[in-house]
Chain A
Amino acid sequence: DAKTTQPPSMDCAEGRAANLPCNHSTISGNEYVYWYRQIHSQGPQYIIHGLKNNETNEMASLIITEDRKSSTLILPHATLRDTAVYYCIVRVAGNTGGFKTIFGAGTRLFVKA
Protein backbone atom coordinates (compact mmCIF):
# COMPACT_ATOMS: atom_id res chain seq x y z
CA ASP A 1 0.00 0.00 0.00
CA ALA A 2 1.07 3.54 -0.66
CA LYS A 3 2.19 5.26 2.51
CA THR A 4 1.39 8.79 1.42
CA THR A 5 -1.69 11.01 1.19
CA GLN A 6 -2.03 13.74 -1.40
CA PRO A 7 -4.90 15.97 -2.52
CA PRO A 8 -6.45 14.58 -5.69
CA SER A 9 -6.14 17.79 -7.69
CA MET A 10 -4.84 21.34 -7.58
CA ASP A 11 -4.90 24.39 -9.82
CA CYS A 12 -2.12 26.88 -10.29
CA ALA A 13 -1.79 30.02 -12.37
CA GLU A 14 0.97 30.07 -14.93
CA GLY A 15 4.06 31.82 -13.60
CA ARG A 16 3.08 31.35 -9.97
CA ALA A 17 4.57 28.90 -7.54
CA ALA A 18 2.84 25.53 -7.27
CA ASN A 19 2.98 24.03 -3.78
CA LEU A 20 2.03 20.37 -3.66
CA PRO A 21 1.59 18.86 -0.19
CA CYS A 22 2.12 15.28 0.88
CA ASN A 23 1.44 13.57 4.18
CA HIS A 24 3.56 10.61 5.20
CA SER A 25 2.90 10.33 8.91
CA THR A 26 4.12 6.72 9.16
CA ILE A 27 7.47 7.33 7.50
CA SER A 28 10.36 5.42 9.01
CA GLY A 29 13.72 6.89 9.91
CA ASN A 30 15.48 5.33 6.93
CA GLU A 31 12.83 6.12 4.33
CA TYR A 32 13.33 8.83 1.75
CA VAL A 33 10.66 11.02 0.20
CA TYR A 34 10.61 10.91 -3.60
CA TRP A 35 8.62 12.93 -6.07
CA TYR A 36 7.82 11.87 -9.61
CA ARG A 37 5.46 13.30 -12.17
CA GLN A 38 3.64 11.77 -15.08
CA ILE A 39 2.55 13.73 -18.08
CA HIS A 40 -0.33 12.16 -19.95
CA SER A 41 0.53 8.89 -21.71
CA GLN A 42 4.19 9.01 -20.75
CA GLY A 43 6.34 7.22 -18.21
CA PRO A 44 6.91 8.94 -14.87
CA GLN A 45 9.75 11.42 -14.56
CA TYR A 46 11.95 11.77 -11.50
CA ILE A 47 11.80 15.22 -9.90
CA ILE A 48 13.58 15.23 -6.55
CA HIS A 49 14.11 13.26 -3.36
CA GLY A 50 15.24 13.91 0.20
CA LEU A 51 15.62 12.41 3.64
CA LYS A 52 15.26 15.23 6.15
CA ASN A 53 16.99 18.29 4.78
CA ASN A 54 15.33 20.57 2.26
CA GLU A 55 16.50 19.94 -1.26
CA THR A 56 16.57 22.01 -4.43
CA ASN A 57 17.43 21.21 -8.00
CA GLU A 58 16.78 22.69 -11.40
CA MET A 59 13.22 21.42 -11.43
CA ALA A 60 11.87 21.98 -7.95
CA SER A 61 12.39 22.38 -4.23
CA LEU A 62 11.44 19.87 -1.58
CA ILE A 63 10.56 21.06 1.89
CA ILE A 64 10.35 18.34 4.57
CA THR A 65 8.95 19.16 7.99
CA GLU A 66 11.16 18.67 11.02
CA ASP A 67 9.13 15.66 12.20
CA ARG A 68 9.26 14.30 8.61
CA LYS A 69 5.56 13.54 8.64
CA SER A 70 4.84 15.76 5.69
CA SER A 71 6.54 17.49 2.81
CA THR A 72 5.84 20.01 0.08
CA LEU A 73 7.05 20.02 -3.48
CA ILE A 74 7.48 23.52 -4.85
CA LEU A 75 7.57 24.37 -8.53
CA PRO A 76 8.75 27.99 -8.30
CA HIS A 77 7.37 29.27 -11.59
CA ALA A 78 4.81 26.87 -12.98
CA THR A 79 4.35 26.67 -16.73
CA LEU A 80 1.64 25.02 -18.80
CA ARG A 81 4.02 22.13 -19.42
CA ASP A 82 4.04 21.37 -15.70
CA THR A 83 0.45 20.13 -15.94
CA ALA A 84 0.77 16.51 -14.85
CA VAL A 85 0.05 14.03 -12.08
CA TYR A 86 2.56 14.40 -9.26
CA TYR A 87 3.36 11.40 -7.09
CA CYS A 88 4.86 11.55 -3.62
CA ILE A 89 6.47 8.26 -2.59
CA VAL A 90 8.35 7.09 0.46
CA ARG A 91 10.73 4.17 0.39
CA VAL A 92 13.96 2.86 1.76
CA ALA A 93 17.02 3.77 -0.25
CA GLY A 94 19.66 1.26 -1.21
CA ASN A 95 19.46 -2.30 -2.36
CA THR A 96 17.77 -3.63 0.73
CA GLY A 97 15.18 -6.34 0.88
CA GLY A 98 11.70 -5.25 -0.04
CA PHE A 99 12.90 -2.39 -2.19
CA LYS A 100 9.91 -1.28 -4.24
CA THR A 101 8.36 1.92 -5.43
CA ILE A 102 4.64 1.94 -4.81
CA PHE A 103 2.59 4.71 -6.35
CA GLY A 104 -0.40 6.26 -4.65
CA ALA A 105 -3.12 8.21 -6.41
CA GLY A 106 -1.04 11.37 -6.77
CA THR A 107 -2.11 14.98 -7.28
CA ARG A 108 -3.35 16.11 -10.66
CA LEU A 109 -1.92 19.61 -11.13
CA PHE A 110 -3.58 21.89 -13.65
CA VAL A 111 -1.56 24.94 -14.62
CA LYS A 112 -3.81 27.54 -16.16
CA ALA A 113 -2.89 30.47 -18.39
Chain B
Amino acid sequence: GAVVSQHPSWVICKSGTSVKIECRSLDFQATTMFWYRQFPKQSLMLMATSNEGSKATYEQGVEKDKFLINHASLTLSTLTVTSAHPEDSSFYICSARRQTTEKLFFGSGTQLSVL
Protein backbone atom coordinates (compact mmCIF):
# COMPACT_ATOMS: atom_id res chain seq x y z
CA GLY B 1 0.00 0.00 0.00
CA ALA B 2 0.90 3.64 -0.18
CA VAL B 3 3.42 4.93 2.30
CA VAL B 4 3.60 8.24 4.09
CA SER B 5 6.87 8.90 5.84
CA GLN B 6 7.04 11.30 8.76
CA HIS B 7 10.26 12.54 10.28
CA PRO B 8 11.44 12.77 12.98
CA SER B 9 9.53 10.20 14.99
CA TRP B 10 10.34 12.01 18.19
CA VAL B 11 12.05 15.24 19.15
CA ILE B 12 12.96 16.96 22.39
CA CYS B 13 13.63 20.66 22.29
CA LYS B 14 14.12 23.61 24.58
CA SER B 15 11.38 26.14 25.12
CA GLY B 16 11.59 28.98 22.62
CA THR B 17 13.16 26.99 19.81
CA SER B 18 11.51 25.96 16.55
CA VAL B 19 10.97 22.43 15.36
CA LYS B 20 10.32 21.26 11.81
CA ILE B 21 8.42 18.07 11.04
CA GLU B 22 8.46 16.58 7.55
CA CYS B 23 5.76 14.53 5.87
CA ARG B 24 6.49 12.77 2.60
CA SER B 25 4.32 10.67 0.36
CA LEU B 26 6.80 8.11 -0.91
CA ASP B 27 5.05 6.50 -3.86
CA PHE B 28 2.27 8.85 -4.85
CA GLN B 29 1.61 12.53 -5.36
CA ALA B 30 -0.48 14.34 -2.80
CA THR B 31 -1.88 17.74 -3.64
CA THR B 32 -3.47 17.82 -0.21
CA MET B 33 -2.01 16.78 3.10
CA PHE B 34 -3.44 17.16 6.57
CA TRP B 35 -1.84 17.85 9.93
CA TYR B 36 -3.27 16.59 13.19
CA ARG B 37 -2.23 16.78 16.79
CA GLN B 38 -3.16 14.34 19.51
CA PHE B 39 -2.87 14.65 23.26
CA PRO B 40 -2.64 11.55 25.46
CA LYS B 41 -5.83 9.48 25.53
CA GLN B 42 -7.58 11.91 23.21
CA SER B 43 -8.63 11.71 19.60
CA LEU B 44 -6.86 13.32 16.68
CA MET B 45 -7.57 16.99 16.21
CA LEU B 46 -7.28 18.43 12.72
CA MET B 47 -4.98 21.43 12.72
CA ALA B 48 -4.75 22.40 9.08
CA THR B 49 -5.08 21.36 5.49
CA SER B 50 -1.91 21.73 3.48
CA ASN B 51 -2.35 22.52 -0.21
CA GLU B 52 0.50 22.17 -2.68
CA GLY B 53 1.52 25.52 -4.09
CA SER B 54 -0.85 27.58 -1.99
CA LYS B 55 -1.48 28.65 1.58
CA ALA B 56 -2.61 26.19 4.17
CA THR B 57 -6.10 26.31 5.57
CA TYR B 58 -6.13 26.35 9.35
CA GLU B 59 -8.86 25.10 11.64
CA GLN B 60 -10.46 27.48 14.07
CA GLY B 61 -8.28 28.12 17.08
CA VAL B 62 -5.02 27.04 15.45
CA GLU B 63 -2.47 29.86 15.21
CA LYS B 64 -1.11 30.01 11.70
CA ASP B 65 1.90 32.07 12.78
CA LYS B 66 2.86 29.49 15.34
CA PHE B 67 2.30 26.40 13.22
CA LEU B 68 3.86 27.18 9.86
CA ILE B 69 2.95 24.82 7.06
CA ASN B 70 4.73 24.62 3.74
CA HIS B 71 3.71 22.32 0.92
CA ALA B 72 6.32 23.07 -1.67
CA SER B 73 6.02 19.91 -3.74
CA LEU B 74 3.54 17.17 -4.47
CA THR B 75 5.32 14.81 -2.11
CA LEU B 76 6.42 16.98 0.79
CA SER B 77 4.68 19.04 3.43
CA THR B 78 6.39 20.47 6.49
CA LEU B 79 5.03 21.70 9.80
CA THR B 80 7.20 24.07 11.80
CA VAL B 81 6.31 24.69 15.41
CA THR B 82 7.77 28.12 16.08
CA SER B 83 8.89 29.30 19.51
CA ALA B 84 7.78 26.05 21.05
CA HIS B 85 6.51 25.98 24.61
CA PRO B 86 5.77 23.05 26.92
CA GLU B 87 2.06 23.24 26.09
CA ASP B 88 2.96 22.45 22.46
CA SER B 89 4.19 19.05 23.56
CA SER B 90 2.00 16.60 21.69
CA PHE B 91 1.86 13.84 19.11
CA TYR B 92 1.74 15.36 15.62
CA ILE B 93 0.48 13.25 12.72
CA CYS B 94 0.32 14.00 9.03
CA SER B 95 -1.78 12.34 6.37
CA ALA B 96 -2.02 12.42 2.62
CA ARG B 97 -4.80 11.54 0.26
CA ARG B 98 -3.98 9.43 -2.73
CA GLN B 99 -5.91 10.86 -5.63
CA THR B 100 -6.66 7.56 -7.31
CA THR B 101 -8.39 6.25 -4.20
CA GLU B 102 -10.56 7.62 -1.47
CA LYS B 103 -8.18 6.56 1.26
CA LEU B 104 -6.12 8.67 3.59
CA PHE B 105 -2.66 7.41 4.45
CA PHE B 106 -1.08 8.49 7.69
CA GLY B 107 2.46 9.01 8.82
CA SER B 108 3.73 7.28 11.92
CA GLY B 109 3.58 10.48 13.94
CA THR B 110 6.07 12.73 15.71
CA GLN B 111 6.19 12.94 19.48
CA LEU B 112 7.27 16.46 20.41
CA SER B 113 8.45 17.18 23.93
CA VAL B 114 9.25 20.78 24.81
CA LEU B 115 11.28 21.26 27.97
Binding site for B on A (CB under 8 A): 32, 34, 36, 38, 41-46, 49, 85, 87, 93-95, 99-106
Contact = CB atoms under 8 A, between A and B. Distances in A.
Contact of B93 (A43, A94, A105): A43
Interface of B: 4, 6, 32, 34, 36, 43-46, 49, 91, 93, 95, 97, 99, 102-109, 111
Nearest to A45: B106
Chain A interface helix/strand/loop/mixed? loop
Given A99-B32, A100-B34, A101-B95, A44 B103 contact: no
Of the listed residues B46, B91, B99, B104, the one surrounded by the most CB atoms of chain A closer than 10 A to its CB is B104
Contacts of A46: 103-105
A32 B102 CA distance: 10
